[in-house]
Amino acid sequence: MLKKNYGIAFDFDGVISDVYHIFRGHFWDMFGVNIEAEKDHYNFEFDLKKSEFYEDWWWKEIAVAITQYQHICPPIHESIEALKAIYEKYGDITIITAREPSDAVMQVTKLWCEKVFDFPYEIHFVADSKQKKLELMRLGIIYYVDDRWKTAQHLSEILDISFLFDSPWNRGRKEQLERNVIRVDSLWRMKDILDARLA
Ligand SMILES: [Mg+2]
């Protein structure tokens, strides 16, 4: 559906794809590390007192877990339904993810999307959060939702509204959110706010 570009986009992991329990299981198997639900497992902040090599291994295992288990990964509750409603109102869905842009990761991610979405979407892969910011700017995105506290704060510099997807791993931060960061408990809530804003 060709519509005006409203500049709306979405993060993937933790917003659309409920991949974190898979990471937890995989990291337990590989490292014997029990990541609690409150921990942001993308951060290497577990005080493991391990070498740099170990940290490197950890990062590589994120891509391994995605490749092995994406096909059994459930969507985040109600996200697909809300995305469909957002699509019907605002046009094609844009996803921007900092998942490793390797062939294997991109392939399993696209297969999953094709299986789960019955509406048009495009997905952009970037190498890290710095690249994510550049990609958002390149695409003219001004409304974006992410589940990482740090990312939502960082991206708020270039967004009209930076939505923080409420999750156990971003509730522990006590620092004040930037003025244009809004915590939402679902994509339905994000849609409500967009509807009010764009009416
Ligand atoms: Mg995420």
Q: Please tell me the distance between residue 160's alpha carbon and the centre of ligand 1 in angstroms.
A: 19
Query: Residue 21 — very low, low, confident or very high, per pLDDT cuts 50/70/90?
Result: confident
Q: Please tell me the distance between residue 99's alpha carbon and the centre of ligand 1 in angstroms.
A: 9
Q: How far is CA 175 from the centre of its chain?
A: 21
Q: What is the pLDDT of residue 58?
A: 80
pTM of the predicted structure, to 2 decimals: 0.93
Cα-Cα-Cα-Cα dihedral sign, residues 132, 175, 7, 85 = positive
Query: Residue 36 — very low, low, confident or very high, per pLDDT cuts 50/70/90?
Result: confident
Q: Please tell me the distance between residue 162's alpha carbon and the centre of ligand 1 in angstroms.
A: 13
Q: What is the pLDDT of residue 74?
A: 96
Q: Who's near 27: CB < 8 A, 6+ residues apart?
A: 33, 35, 41, 58, 61, 65
For the cut 70, the answer to whether the pLDDT of residue 46 exceeds it is no
What is d(CA 36, CA 59) in angstroms, rounded to the nearest whole number?
18
Per-residue pLDDT tens digits for 51-101: 677 778 888 889 999 999 999 999 999 999 999 999 999 999 999 999 999
Q: Please tell me the distance between residue 164's alpha carbon and the centre of ligand 1 in angstroms.
A: 10
- What is the H or E stretch that residue 193 is in? helix 187-198
Q: Please tell me the distance between residue 15's alpha carbon and the centre of ligand 1 in angstroms.
A: 6
